[in-house]
Amino acid sequence: MLQFSTEDLMQYLYHETSEDQSMAIEKALHANWTLMDKFIVLKNTLRKLDDTLDSPRPEAVSAILHYANTTAVAANL
């Protein structure tokens, strides 16, 4: 049986694997519960990151805009 790395699973999650490699990973996931457990952890982590990084906080946007305005004014002097 083929061994798949964390990087292979990440590529699979982001649909960056070939059709043959995707099929091999799916077969391995069904046959190897340790690999499936690693895959589930990665998938849940990516989902949490996607939910968390949906958009920046308004305070962060305001701080960046304020900094940009003050630097633009100082650059024009």
Domain-wise residue ranges, the chain: 6-75
pTM score? 0.64
Q: Tell me how crowded residue 12 is: count the other CB atoms within 10 A of its CB.
A: 20
The tens digit of pLDDT for each residue in 8-54 reads 999 999 999 999 999 999 999 999 999 999 999 999 998 888 776 66
Q: How far apart are CA 11 and CA 23, in angstroms?
A: 13
pLDDT of 77 strictly over 60: no
Sign, CA torsion 60/54/49/19? negative
